[in-house]
Amino acid sequence: MIASVERSQVSGEVAVPPSKSYTHRAITISALGPGGSVKRPLLSADTRATIAAAEALGAEIAIEGETLAVAGVGGRPKTPDNVIDVENSGTTLRIMAAVAALTDGAVLTGDASIRGRPNGPLLKSLNDLGGEAFSIKRNDCAPLVVRGKIRGGRTVLDGRVSSQFLSALLISCPLAEDEAEIVIDGELKSRPYAEITLEMLEEAGGKVETDFERFFIQGGQRYHLEEYTVPGDFSSASYLLAAAAVTGSRLMVRGLRPSRQGDSAIVSILRDMGAKISWDQEKGDLVIEGGDLEGVEVDASLTPDLVPTIAVLGSLARGKTVVKNAEHVRHKETDRLSAMAMELSKMGADIEERPDGLVIEGGRLEGAIVSGHHDHRIVMALTVAGLAAGDTRIDTAESVSVSYPSFFEDMARIGCLVEVGG
């Protein structure tokens, strides 16, 4: 599908969608316990893949309005009857591979993008902990074969590629028979996502001792997440806030309460760039007023999903914007550093791609025909660019269903001139 975007401003108010990261974890942890209810979940392509995978492993999940009613497996996931297809969800692949290591075995695969994303550190750790896990093609990518059961023990995990590997182990290891120790090798990238996992485990009664260099986990634990309400998603909110910032508009975004999400850093980044922001954290109402933006330097080691948004903001700000420590962004749905440099260059941006980031000399953007690279975050970021540039056409627009199915409807509701079709 093609998204056609014209120069426009935004106004009014919009509710941010629920967090994808919290929804994945709430579904999985609830399913691994006796069950319960997950309120206000994000229902997107990615989270529906997690629902389907949890059901394949023995849970029963019903969608009842804005609630998921979960009948869990009580710490004993079953061996699935068929291959688990995670579609385009890397989070589902990594977490469910580790959960599958609590069964007699499973095969997991996904779409072409998933079949190109690395999983070597997770496979190594599952083998270290007593399971058997390998890539069918021996390239560390899906399809993956996982044979259980992990028992416990010690593993050294490379933290430089993705925190999803650690989150997967943190969810599965408490249900193993023996205690486990996970030692992080190198800098733990995207640490806030691991913190979200620990928060959710604590909510469900799980116990992990850690200084974020080592994680000690007692075996034989049980989860009980009886009721959980999913918070708003700062990653999705970044596009709404950026839309106001680059068009000099005033917008209220509802549903943004403080949480452990690393992408909440978008608020401070926009303030540093010159946007006016008032935030009632108790109510969750944030008002932003855009205007002249100034370039900034951003360390993206903890906030990889913000990189496409920051690249667009930097392209429209005065002066230089530097994105650094973002090499792990190359291992997402696509190589997001390369993709944003390529597409924003088509729109006239002065942007340099570096091994670990981007250097952008801000200015103006011009309308162009660009590609979304089948990546939801690329599509949404380029839509924001199109609001300032006008006359912009973005392909693979349907990919927004991965994390923000109502994105284009919400953008139109606040005044964006955007049409999707073809």
Q: What pLDDT score does 74 carry?
A: 97
pLDDT in tens, 236-254: 999 999 999 999 999 999 9
221 is in an annotated binding site: no
Cα separation of 356 and 237, whole Å? 25
pTM here? 0.92
7 is in an annotated binding site: no
218 is in an annotated binding site: no
257 is in an annotated binding site: no
Q: What pLDDT score does 21 carry?
A: 96
Categorise residue 277: left if φ over 0, alpha if ψ from -120 to 50, beta otherwise. beta
| pLDDT above 90: residue 216 | yes
Model confidence at 311, in pLDDT bands (50, 70, 90)?
very high
Kindly provide the b/e burial profile for residues 244-260, where b requires at least 16 CB atoms within 10 angstroms of the residue's own CB: bbbbebbbbbebbeebb
Q: What pLDDT score does 422 carry?
A: 73
Helix %, strand %, coil % of the chain (to 5): 35, 25, 40
162 is in an annotated binding site: yes
Q: What pLDDT score does 332 carry?
A: 84
Mean pLDDT within 325-332:
90
Q: What pLDDT score does 275 carry?
A: 98
90 is in an annotated binding site: yes
Model confidence at 72, in pLDDT bands (50, 70, 90)?
very high
Residues with active-site annotation: 305
User: What's the chain's average pLDDT?
Assistant: 97
Instruction: Return contacts of 330-333, CB within 8 angstroms, 24+ apart.
Output: 331/117, 331/118, 331/161, 331/162, 332/90, 332/304, 332/305, 332/375, 332/377, 333/88, 333/90, 333/113, 333/373, 333/374, 333/375, 333/376, 333/377, 333/378, 333/399, 333/402
Domains within the chain, CATH numbers bracketed:
2-17+232-421 (3.65.10.10), 20-217+225-229 (3.65.10.10)
Model confidence at 189, in pLDDT bands (50, 70, 90)?
confident
324 is in an annotated binding site: no
Q: What pLDDT score does 148 carry?
A: 80
Model confidence at 190, in pLDDT bands (50, 70, 90)?
confident
Q: What pLDDT score does 137 carry?
A: 96
386 is in an annotated binding site: no
Mean pLDDT within 113-120:
94
SS3 15: strand
